[in-house]
Amino acid sequence: MSHPTFQSENAKTTRIPFHKIGAVFYGLWGFWHFRVVASMFEFAATQMDQDVLQARIYQGAFHILWFAVGAVAIAVLFNWRNSRIGYWLNLLMIGWTEIGLFFFFIVPGYFPWLPTGFVGPLLWIFAVAFTTLGYCLNPRKV
């Protein structure tokens, strides 16, 4: 099966690099979460006493930081090349973090869906949709 194509004005056939579009969305997910991590560190430092809960917020921010770094690295090194390994790594790693956000924070109402709670899950959904299209239309063994 080949990539969908479209005709440009000068009649050249162009392939749509769905996997690269998905890689960009995974990168955006990662960069968005760098902002989230900074907010978590700032909140813990300025709004909390130094106790176990503050340490737990710092630890959670540290974990999210490495998920974000991982998402960007996998997007650049693997998803951009339509790698099967990269496809599954980001799908599972980021999916797991978004499922946790949804069930542990959004469903109980601890974190509002609006104005910004939807951004991470939406970027993840777009990333999954485009990398899945790219991989299914042009599967790679690597």
Q: What are phi and psi of 78, to 5 degrees?
A: -120, -55
Residue 53 domain-assigned? no
**pLDDT of 11:** 46
**pLDDT of 56:** 95
Contact 86, 74 (CB under 8 A): yes
- Total domains present in the chain: 1
**pLDDT of 141:** 65
Amino acid in position 82: N
Angle at 112 between CA 95 and CA 130, to 5 degrees: 30
- Domain carrying residue 86: 17-29+67-137
Residue 112 domain-assigned? yes
Residue 42 domain-assigned? no
Mean pLDDT by 10 residues, the chain (142 residues): 54 76 98 96 93 95 97 98 96 95 91 89 97 90 66
Contact 1, 134 (CB under 8 A): no
For residue range 11-31, what is the model confidence (pLDDT) as tens digits?
454 589 999 999 999 999 999
Q: What are phi and psi of 119, to 5 degrees?
A: -65, -55
Instruction: Enter the pTM of the model.
Output: 0.86
**pLDDT of 93:** 97
- C-alpha separations of 100 from 23, 69, 97, 130 in Å: 22, 18, 5, 22
**pLDDT of 140:** 74
Residue 142 domain-assigned? no
**pLDDT of 138:** 87
Residue 115 domain-assigned? yes
Using CA atoms, how far apart are residues 3 and 136, in angstroms rounded to an integer?
A: 9
Residue 58 domain-assigned? no
Residue 121 domain-assigned? yes
